[in-house]
Amino acid sequence: MNQKRVALITGAARGIGNGIALKLAKDGFDIAIMDVLKYDDIKDNIKIIEETKATVLYLNGNITDKESREQVVSDIMKKFGRIDVLVNNAGVAPKVRTDLLQMTEESYNFVMDINLKGTLFLTQTVANQMIELIGKVDNYRPKIINIASMSSYTSSTSRGEYCISKAGISMLTKLFADRLAEYGINVYEVRPGIIFTPMTEVVKGKYDKLIAEGLLPIKRWGYPEDIANAISAFCMDLFSYSTGEVINIDGGFHIQRL
Ligand SMILES: NC(=O)c1ccc[n+]([C@@H]2O[C@H](COP(=O)([O-])OP(=O)(O)OC[C@H]3O[C@@H](n4cnc5c(N)ncnc54)[C@H](O)[C@@H]3O)[C@@H](O)[C@H]2O)c1
């Protein structure tokens, strides 16, 4: 069995997930990544994590696919014999922003299958594996952390399917927090605001303008490191009497202002 704690981070080939993987590697975790992107296309992002001396297991897989989800958990168990932390980060925006009155079922299914359904069933599989490991791993303190969004509670009528999926993630946090508390598996949620990644660089002009006009109390973009630091804090076991807890990493966006 692996001596170091092991974190599985979905969608960590790039963007926020990659920042989280790097931070947890620096914190002393070994890392498993599940992502649809081909290793050869993102290998530089993986090498940066390996430079911390962490072992990185890169697993090509799609969270919408049951076989793929089960394969990932079985590969991690084969390699490390344990999973200590699951970070549910993989997610997509709609391919095209479309007004709610024209949203297509195809776009709804694409976003919901990845962001909500895939995440729900991967969490179920990993949670069952974590329950099996209780009593077998020394000092085992498993945790699940969901990456939701400011869109969990904010309406954007040109990407309603994304908002619905993230509101669903916030309920998923509550449900699993409630169900897994008896096993000592705490569940947390991070709600990023406007974070500079490949997902948002296509709308950079729009958000540059909104930030300059005062949308956020803290007048800057967020970066993957901002999210990674919050995940790192949750993994430090300083919140053991809290579960279902949510932290906004959004430059203060969630504050209602007059
Ligand atoms: N960037 C932001 O401003 C922002 C704000 C709020 C929430 N978020 C959330 O943060 C998370 C990461 O976003 P990001 O900005 O880094 O985006 P990103 O597009 O840069 O990264 C997403 C990663 O998920 C992977 N992925 C997509 N579909 C997958 C699937 N079916 N199976 C496995 N992996 C898959 C992608 O290949 C990619 O590596 C997402 O859940 C997103 O909704 C981002």
pLDDT digits (tens, 9 = 90+) for 95-134: 999 999 999 999 999 999 999 999 999 999 999 999 999 9
Q: Which atom of ligand 1 is nearest to the CA of 150?
A: 6
Which residue's alpha carbon is at the smallest distance from atom 42 of ligand 1? 91
pLDDT at 257: 96
Q: Which of 162, 188, 223, 241 is catalytic?
A: 162
Q: Using a pLDDT cut of 70, give the percent of the chain over it.
A: 100
The pLDDT of residue 62 is: 98
CA distance 146 to 169: 7
Q: Give, for ligand 1, the residue of 197, 200, 202, 211 to mutate: max count of ligand atoms closer than 8 Å to Cβ.
A: 197
Q: What is the pLDDT of residue 244?
A: 98
Is 0.95 topped by the overall pTM?
yes
pLDDT score at 82:
98
Angle at 195 between CA 19 and CA 202, to 5 degrees: 110
Side-chain-side CA neighbours of 131 within 13 Å: the count stands at 12
Domain boundaries of the chain, sorted by first residue? 6-249
| CATH number for the domain running over 6-249 | 3.40.50.720
The mean pLDDT value of the chain amounts to 98
Give residue 34's pLDDT.
98
Is 140 tagged catalytic? no
Q: Is the CB of 19 under 6 A from ligand 1?
A: no
Residue 167: per-residue pLDDT = 99
- The model's confidence at residue 256, banded by pLDDT at 50, 70 and 90, is very high
Would you list the DSSP string of the chain?
A: --SS-EEEEETTTSHHHHHHHHHHHHTT-EEEEEESS-HHHHHHHHHHHHTTT--EEEEE--TT-HHHHHHHHHHHHHHTS---EEEE------SS---TTT--HHHHHHHHIIIIIIHHHHHHHHHHHHHHHTTTSTT---EEEEE--GGGTS--TTSHHHHHHHHHHHHHHHHHHHHHGGGT-EEEEEEE-SB-STTTGGGHHHHHHHHHTTSSSS-S-B-HHHHHHHHHHHTTTS-TT--SEEEEESTTTTS---
Would you state the structure tokens that stand for residue 158, as one six-digit string? 């040109």
